[in-house]
Chain A
């Protein structure tokens, strides 16, 4: 039913270059979280730290009582069986066709017969819309197909935690919204914990239950979707609304003169908060909250026209 990820005081640097410091957050079990951040803020590094591919310098990542940051290699390989990871380019094994790629984890980790494997693989291939392409090699298909095949492989062991490394990079808008719908449907279906790393605003605004924002070597904010979308915090506001005015510049941070120059500029009003993407069968997900609940509970007025059906983009 999904597993909670508890990250505490995590710090990582490569040599002298600090990537991020003191990241503390809890990804709640069974919910969809999005980790946002401008390019080069170490979102992918964060993801790799979560699966133990990179050792953080400090801090802990607790999953089911095991600390990923300090556990032995053996424990790490055990705990990784809980994970399904979709890599940026799908990371398919180039020497195998798609069928063998998706069947690979089953063949390595289970004692299922070939016909059982065939059933599971075909089911997952159908789920991502790749039926009929199972004999193709990863080199022969488009980037979007590779991504979907990577998703099928990530799901084949029924993971408790699914991590997506930029599922929408390099995909056209139509495919992106199909993929987002697929993510929401999947969450409704398998109840796993989802963490999506992206910088696509539309995905971040409509898909998740929680949003985190990495900026300037730290976690700027992490919390429910409505909290961030209604936030007046300059960095959060600038990023989630894709504005030029704000502390984020072309190269990391703006300098004092630039900030001075825009001091008097009026910030555009916060756009309305769109409705969250619903599973396509209409039955709300277990972790889904009614629209506007967080705002009401915390006495915050959402921007005008929020939660109207028409304000949801890409549905």
Chain B
């Protein structure tokens, strides 16, 4: 059991366990008072400010690509009137949460990991603990909540911008009829699609913030350690988010039957 090979093979399991334990600590810190409202608002504003513009810029081509692809395909079936419906479905169910995930992990998560990592190597976190303040409650919990909140808002924004982008491309470039695009909105899409998009965004925000905080707080070895922590946190978050997205989508499609137009 204690052979070096076994230890090396089992190391990732240990890391996963520690990450999970950290997540539980955060969950416990969530209910500890006083709640850091100021820090929460500051962080929410900060995360929003680093993600809004990139997200909007990503959402437009996302919507456009879907509109172009689906539009081209659907034309061959002779069902142009369903273009709007298909692009709404694709944007809200998949593209919205995925674009949100990319930006939350890439911009928000990396900022959190860098911030906490720098504090860790400058002994600020140690100093905080010595002053009798739990950094998880004081710093991590507000960041996780802020990240979740901003993720939900971003998801909404991606959905709106994506659908609008799809509309512009469909109507202007593909000579679609504006009325048909609008009218078919609800043909395939349904209300639970919006809910699942929001739930996904919430979960993605949680995962991104927890991973980033965990990596940041465990940075070691000077400035290079902070760089490594940021890098690892973004990569791990991406991997986790795509897996979780797949799992959530599968569960959703099983639970909620697709609407038949």
Contacts and interface: CB of A to CB of B under 8 A. Distances in A.
18 contacts: A77-B129, A77-B133, A78-B132, A80-B130, A80-B131, A85-B127, A89-B122, A89-B123, A91-B122, A93-B119, A93-B128, A94-B119, A104-B131, A108-B131, A108-B132, A108-B133, A153-B131, A157-B131
B122 to A, nearest CB: 6
Given A94-B118, A94-B119, A80 B132 contact: yes
B230 to A, nearest CB: 17
Contacts, number: 53
A48 B122 contact: no
B129 A94 contact: no
B118 A85 contact: no
Interface string B119-156: 10011101111111110001000000000000000000
A51 B130 contact: yes
A91 B135 CA distance: 14
A53 interface: yes
Contacts of A78: 132
B126 A53 contact: yes
Given A89-B122, A93-B128, 6 more contacts: A80-B130, A87-B123, A92-B124, A94-B118, A105-B131, A157-B131
B130 to A, nearest CB: 5
A91 B132 contact: no
Nearest 6 A/B pairs, CB to CB: A91-B127, A91-B123, A80-B132, A85-B130, A81-B132, A105-B131
A91 B124 contact: yes
Interface string A99-118: 00000110011000000000
Contacts of B128: 93
Contacts of A153: 127, 131
A81 B130 CA distance: 8
A83 interface: yes
* Size bin of chain B's contact surface: 10 to 19
A306 interface: no
B126 A109 contact: no
A88 interface: yes
A85 B122 CA distance: 14
With a 10 A CB-CB cut-off, give which of B126, B129, B131 has the most chain A CB atoms.
B131
Interface in B104-129: 118-119, 122-124, 126-129
Contacts of B138: 108
A150 B119 CA distance: 15
Contacts of B123: 87-89, 91
Contacts of B124: 91-94
B131 A53 contact: no
B186 to A, nearest CB: 48
B122 A53 contact: no
Contacts of B133: 77, 108
Given A53-B129, A85-B127, A94 B122 contact: yes
Contacts of A108: 131-133, 138
A83 B130 contact: yes
Interface in A55-100: 77-78, 80-81, 83, 85, 87-89, 91-94
Interface in A133-190: 150, 153, 157
Given A91-B124, A93-B124, A80 B119 contact: no
Contacts of B122: 89, 91, 94
A89 B126 CA distance: 12
A186 to B, nearest CB: 18
Interface string B68-85: 000000000000000000
A252 B221 CA distance: 22
Nearest to B137: A77
B198 to A, nearest CB: 32
Nearest to A163: B130
Contact of B126 (A77, A87, A104): A87
A113 B123 CA distance: 29
B116 to A, nearest CB: 12
A77 B119 contact: no
Interface string B16-30: 000000000000000
A91 B126 contact: yes
A16 to B, nearest CB: 12
A75 B133 CA distance: 12
Nearest to A105: B131
B10 to A, nearest CB: 15
Nearest to A104: B131
A92 B118 CA distance: 12
Given A91-B122, A94-B118, A94-B119, A77 B127 contact: no
A51 B127 CA distance: 10
Contacts of A92: 124, 127
B17 to A, nearest CB: 18
A104 B132 CA distance: 11
Contacts of A87: 123, 126-127
A153 B131 CA distance: 9
Contacts of B129: 51, 53, 77, 80
Contacts of A88: 123
Contacts of A48: 126
